[in-house]
Structure 1
């Protein structure tokens, strides 16, 4: 692979209007709340099933994991052979949360700018750097852990930053037949809005790879990111 990073796939569950959450704070979790809507709940398991077939490594943030209440789970989910890389600059994950993740994933790698981040579990690796960048993180994952492919499942701000830095190769969206609305609700890609027409060239063009019609009016849409 010529690029100094793994091949990346942005994998998301989204509403028709591009929302990846139900509301405007990290207390919301679309996968939990959309189960409360019978017409949507009947098809949501398809997203979970597809997720089981993606790359062996997942890349996310501690902030995204908090929406799954990982710091307060009273049980350990069934063990998986997948591994996970996490950005946690503000030590959002508690010791309990790290233990849950270590029991669930084969390997956990936490990237942080926090100089005193604890390393308290055998299969958890803490990588501290004073100034982390997304490109540097992906390079470390490839060079240190020999990762060739990784799936990204994070929030709208990180997704936007990855896209603008040209660090996403492919996008796979499971589209739920649902309108969420809300101008402050996170979308597939957030970040700062354009303020100058001269910046139009920073938009990210895509090429359609395929559309798969799933059950119960769900779709899976796959795109490759056009390199410019």
Structure 2
């Protein structure tokens, strides 16, 4: 009996050690993603819309050639970088599974673990940088019924927009706008926007990737998007 208890204690100790090592590995992967996301965001901010490709573009391509991919047409080329950490399927919430089978996903969220995604890139059209883009998405527990959901916020500087039938690009209303898409919130702005407002439009909270308590709303990822949404609400709306 004493020998059996000894083996049980050893097994429990080994299980705890393995669990702690797996948790540390997952947390470390999230911090590595956040660090790489910071570098990607910094490189995206150096790109200038409306100008020919220059040293900043060459630097971007040189640093992210392994993680990025290009889609090119005769007059345009889009270069995108995707960075992510993904929990295994058994550790992610699934609404089709029974409550007990989602205990591990809920435990993962409670332990500060989540799947996260970061995108960044630019588009070149007719020999000039026409669009610069960055986006961040995280998975976290929702305040509704404790269910997990993905939230995403993106921001892009574009040369302008072309209404249906228009032959030339026009500036955005107030030089910026916020859109609700299937993926999440998207802020668009053009080069004429005030520099301080540009910084706010690209002021992503990358802490949502690593912080222990999950972010619940897109506005927590990109506070500037939340402020634009508030401005868009009719007077007196809640």
Question: Rg bigger for which structure?
Answer: 2
TM more than 0.5: no
Report the TM-score, using the length of structure 1 for normalisation: 0.25
TM (norm. structure 2) is 0.25
Q: Which structure has the higher relative contact order (CA within 8 Å, separation 6+)?
A: 1
